[in-house]
Amino acid sequence: DLATYPRTVEADCALLESLGANIAFTPTVEQIYPYPDTRQFDFTPLDKVMEGPMRPGHFNGVAQVVSRLFDIAQPNKAYFGEKDYQQIAVIRRMVDDLGFRVEIVACPVIRETSGLAMSSRNTLLTQEEKCIVPNIYRILTESKSLGLNIQETQDWVQKQINNISGLEVEYYSIVDGDTLADINDWADSKSVVGCITVYCGKTPIRLIDHIRYK
């Protein structure tokens, strides 16, 4: 996953410069990790659901990387996009566990005009794939007005997306927005979020998104 992740350092630096930045911190692996990071984190139950089973070790890696960044930068605030909804929950837990004095600020998802959540992964999509992926958010949005129960809503979303050639749902979970625990009834939580991962194309490209039901 890391090996295929888009790297656009020159474009990133140009954007930073246009916004008034004077310095970009782009260290080598050896500078950040002079020796292997063997730390093991346990964020149960946050890292044991949804992305956790699908990507073993992923959130441990997130904690290693982000904690290392916080150690170096000592920020007062750190901003993370809500598109990676589960990741923010894990990072907040890590901040509490390790005693970092940093405020984690969740930034709303920014979408393309088609409704597709903006992501560096989108650059990997072909033009044909870019025409079908907006259906993910369209179907999620439509599911809010169906009046179905939790299980029926999950089933409907998965069926609708899987019926579109080129798209395949890996999972769709409707959970408590704070604990990420599965819920059985809309009344079980004051914050209800639907989190989804969809594979697109023959490569395939793995896309994540979410929607708030309340």
Over residues 80-95, the pLDDT tens digits come to: 999 999 999 999 999 9
The sheet that has 167-176: what strands, in order across it? 167-176, 192-200, 205-212
Sign of CA dihedral 182, 188, 192, 194: positive
Q: What is the mean pLDDT of residues 34-48?
A: 94
Q: Spell out the residues 6+ positions from residue 86 whose beta carbon is closer than 8 angstroms to its own.
A: 46, 49, 50, 51, 52, 59, 180, 195
Over residues 172-209, the pLDDT tens digits come to: 999 999 999 999 999 999 999 999 999 999 888 999 99
Given pLDDT bands bounded at 50, 70 and 90, which one contains residue 4? confident
How confident is the model at residue 5, as a pLDDT? 80
| pLDDT score of 38 more than 90 | yes
| pLDDT score of 166 more than 80 | yes
d(CA 50, CA 189): 18
In 173-193, which positions are buried (b, 16+ CB within 10 angstroms) versus exposed (e)?
bbbebeebeebeeeeebeebb
Given pLDDT bands bounded at 50, 70 and 90, which one contains residue 3? confident
Q: What is the mean pLDDT of residues 132-159?
A: 96
Average model confidence (pLDDT) for the chain? 94
pTM: 0.86
